[in-house]
Amino acid sequence: MTTTDQLKKAAEALEGATDVALACHINPDPDALGSMLALGLFLRARGARVICSWAQQPLEVPRWAAGLEGLDLLVQPKAFPAEPAVMVALDTASPDRLGGLAARAQKARECVVVDHHRTNPGFGTVVVLDPDASSTCELVFRLTDRIQGDLPDGAAAWLYAGLLTDTGRFQYQATTPESLRVAAALREHDFDHARLGQVLFEDSSLGYLRALAIALARVVHLPEADLVWTYLTQADLAELGASMGETDDLIDVVRTAREADVTCVVKQQRDGRFKVSLRSKGATDVGSVAAAFGGGGHRLAAGYTSDVGPEASVETLVRALRSDG
Ligand SMILES: [Mn+2]
């Protein structure tokens, strides 16, 4: 089925819905949160009863999102309907990325999945899956375009946020002429795009800058694996007064190193386990490497969770990278 056919089916499922429960992946990034709240605002403006959530209790709205509209759509995951009539899962590469809400997707009478992760197995009753789309936000724009009703300005701001971040400010390979046309259509709406860019990209705490300094001082180059890597622990953050949520763009700084194709950042999570994030400049399919470790993502950006510490995680990773190349 073409993406256009998929969008048509999803539009049909949503057009008649009076109650819609939307969910996105845990630790939502702007594409996840943006696609969910934009679609939520759009459906609510058409008269549907809408709730949005993700499986973290309590929900913590990221700082950058504080000034945007539609946060009143958010409910704690425990208030998410047990058997939704219509559910939408956004930017969610697999059911387990829904965390505790995965069972609801199974119980939902209709579950519409809108996503752009190549590794998505295609769960749900209606699937809109376009691995060539820059972002889930781009797909949501195309979806709302097929449904009667105007896109509220507040929804356009959310979509712009997801588009902006998932394309690396329109730089990454996945940025197509279509992405730019969608961006242009969104910019016709009334929202402060300059302010949005500022809260998304220029809002560091001093604690984070100090954590960045430590992580950069630890960067190791492993030429045999064409890799640079570094790590941060919970102890580092506690000492510097930074939170892990602030360190999302650490990897974007590390991967500017010209000496290697692959970048790896290992970050200890609150539960003590380690999140291993991978990026490639183009020569390595880090998506399949991450998948081999039970993770997922895209060809050039992927990740997985490891139970062992940074050194041991990277040792195993190096073996995988070398056997791959
Ligand atoms: Mn995305």
Show me where the domains of the chain are located: 3-201, 206-324
Q: Ligand 1 centroid vs 116 CA: distance in angstroms?
A: 7
Q: Ligand 1 centroid vs 299 CA: distance in angstroms?
A: 13
For the chain, what is the radius of gyration of the CA atoms?
A: 19
Q: Ligand 1 centroid vs 72 CA: distance in angstroms?
A: 23
Q: Ligand 1 centroid vs 224 CA: distance in angstroms?
A: 31
pLDDT tens for the 325 residues of the chain, in order: 999 999 999 999 999 999 999 999 999 999 999 999 999 999 999 999 999 999 999 999 999 999 999 999 999 999 999 999 999 999 999 999 999 999 999 999 999 999 999 889 999 999 999 999 999 999 999 999 999 999 999 999 999 999 999 999 999 889 999 999 999 999 999 999 999 999 999 999 999 999 999 999 999 999 999 999 999 999 999 999 999 888 988 999 999 999 999 999 999 999 999 999 999 999 999 999 999 999 988 899 999 999 999 999 999 999 999 986 5
Residue type, 279: R
Under 8 Å between Cβ of 113 and 129: yes
Structure-token pair, residue 244: 């892990």
Q: Ligand 1 centroid vs 128 CA: distance in angstroms?
A: 13
Which alpha helices (DSSP H) does the chain contain, by range?
A: 3-15, 30-45, 102-107, 136-145, 153-166, 177-187, 193-201, 206-217, 234-240, 250-254, 286-292, 310-324
Reported as half-sphere exposure (CB side, CA atoms, 13 A), residue 240 has a value of 22
Q: Ligand 1 centroid vs 221 CA: distance in angstroms?
A: 29
CATH classification of 206-324, choosing from 3.40.50.1820, 3.40.630.30, 3.10.310.30, 3.40.120.10? 3.10.310.30
206-324 has the same fold as 3-201: no
Q: Ligand 1 centroid vs 136 CA: distance in angstroms?
A: 5
Q: Ligand 1 centroid vs 166 CA: distance in angstroms?
A: 6
Q: Ligand 1 centroid vs 28 CA: distance in angstroms?
A: 9
Q: Ligand 1 centroid vs 19 CA: distance in angstroms?
A: 25
Q: What sign for the dihedral angle of Cα 218, 222, 223, 228?
A: negative
Q: Ligand 1 centroid vs 239 CA: distance in angstroms?
A: 32
Under 8 Å between Cβ of 203 and 211: no
In CATH terms, the fold of domain 3-201 is: inorganic pyrophosphatase (n-terminal core) (3.90.1640)
Q: In this structure, which long-range contacts are made by residues 192-195, counting pairs with CB atoms below 8 Å and at least 24 apart in sequence?
A: 192/157, 193/157, 193/160, 195/67
Q: Ligand 1 centroid vs 35 CA: distance in angstroms?
A: 9
The pocket of ion ligand 1, defined by CB under 5 A, consists of: 31, 91, 136, 166
**Distance separating alpha carbons of residues 75 and 172, to the nearest angstrom:** 33
